[in-house]
Chains A and B, each alone.
Chain A
Amino acid sequence: MLWVEIGISFVKIALVLFVVLTLVAYLTLAERRISAFIQDRLGPNRVGPFGILQPLADGVKFIFKEDIIPDRANKPFYVMAPALSLVTAIVALAVIPIGKGFNTTLFGLLEDPFYVKLQIADVNAGLLFVLAITSLSVYGVVLGGWSSNSKYSLLGGLRAAAQMISYELSLGLSILGVILLAGSLRLNDIVEAQQKIWFAIPQALGFLVFMVSSFAETNRLPFDLPEAEPEIVAGYHTEYSSMKFAMFFMAEYTHMIVASALMVCLFLGGWYPLPFGGWFGIDIERYWYLPPIVFIGKVFFLLFLFIWVRWTIPRFRYDQVMKLGWKVLFPLGVLNIIVTSAVMVFVYK
Chain B
Amino acid sequence: MESVLFYIFAAASVAGALLVVFHKNPIASALSLVLTLFSTAVLFIFLLAHFVAAIQILVYAGAIMVLFMFTVMFLNIREESLKFDAQNLPVKLGVLLLILFIFGYFASIGFKKSFSLNHAASLPESFGTVEGVGEVLFKDYLLPFELTSVLIVVAILGVVAIAKRGTD
Report yes or no: B70 in contact with A125, Cβ–Cβ below 8 A.
no
Identify whether the interface residues of A are mostly helix, strand, loop, or mixed.
helix
Say if the beta carbon of B12 comes within 8 Å of chain A: no
The interface residues of chain B lying within 8 Å CB-to-CB of A128 are: 51, 54-55, 58, 130
Residues of chain A with a CB closer than 8 A to B73's CB: 142, 146, 154, 157-158, 161
The smallest beta-carbon distance between A7 and chain B, in angstroms, is: 15
Chain A, residues 109-140, CB within 8 Å of chain B (1/0): the string is: 00000000000000111001101110110110
Indicate whether A158 sits within 8 Å of B57 (C-beta atoms), given known contacts A124-B130, A132-B62, A165-B66: no
Q: How far is the CB of B166 from chain A (nearest CB, A)?
A: 20
**Cα-based distance from A164 to B130 in the complex (angstroms):** 26
The number of residues on chain B lying at the interface, defined by a beta carbon within 8 Å of a beta carbon of chain A, is 23
Across the interface, which residues of A come within 8 angstroms of B162, CB to CB? none
Bitwise interface map of A from 69 to 95 toward B, beta carbon under 8 Å scored 1, else 0: 000001001000000000000000000
Q: Does A9 contact B (CB under 8 A)?
A: no
Nearest residue, chain B, Cβ from A158: B73
When distances are taken between beta carbons in the complex, the residues of chain A under 8 Å from B70 are 142, 158, 161-162, 165
Residues of B within 8 A of A17 (CB): none
Interface size on A, residues (CB 8 A): 27
Q: Does B17 contact A (CB under 8 A)?
A: no
Question: Is A136 a contact of B57 with CB atoms below 8 Å?
Answer: yes
* Contact A124:B51 (CB < 8 A) given known A133-B57, A139-B69, A154-B73: yes
- Contact: A139 with B130, CB < 8 Å? no
Q: Which of B34, B54, B58 contacts A139 (CB 8 A)?
A: B34
User: Hey, which chain A residues are within 8 Å of B69, CB to CB?
Assistant: 139, 142, 161
B120 to chain A, nearest CB (A): 14
Within the complex, the shortest CB–CB distance from A230 to chain B, in Å, comes to: 23
Contact at A165–B74, with CB atoms within 8 Å? Answer: no
Chain A residues near B25 (CB, 8 Å)?
74
Residues of B contacting A136 in the complex (Cβ-Cβ under 8 angstroms):
57, 61-62
Chain A residues positioned under 8 Å from B74 (CB to CB): 158
Chain B residues with CB under 8 A of A123: 50, 54
A residues bordering B, Cβ < 8 Å? 74, 77, 123-125, 128-129, 131-133, 135-136, 138-139, 142-143, 146, 154, 157-158, 161-162, 164-165, 168, 184-185
Supply 18 A–B pairs (Cβ within 8 Å), ascending by A.
Answer: A77-B31, A124-B51, A124-B128, A125-B54, A125-B130, A128-B51, A128-B54, A138-B66, A139-B66, A142-B70, A142-B73, A146-B73, A157-B73, A161-B69, A164-B66, A168-B62, A168-B63, A184-B130
- In the A-B complex, list the 8 residue pairs whose CB atoms are closest, starting with the nearest: A135-B62, A128-B54, A132-B57, A132-B58, A124-B129, A125-B54, A125-B51, A132-B54
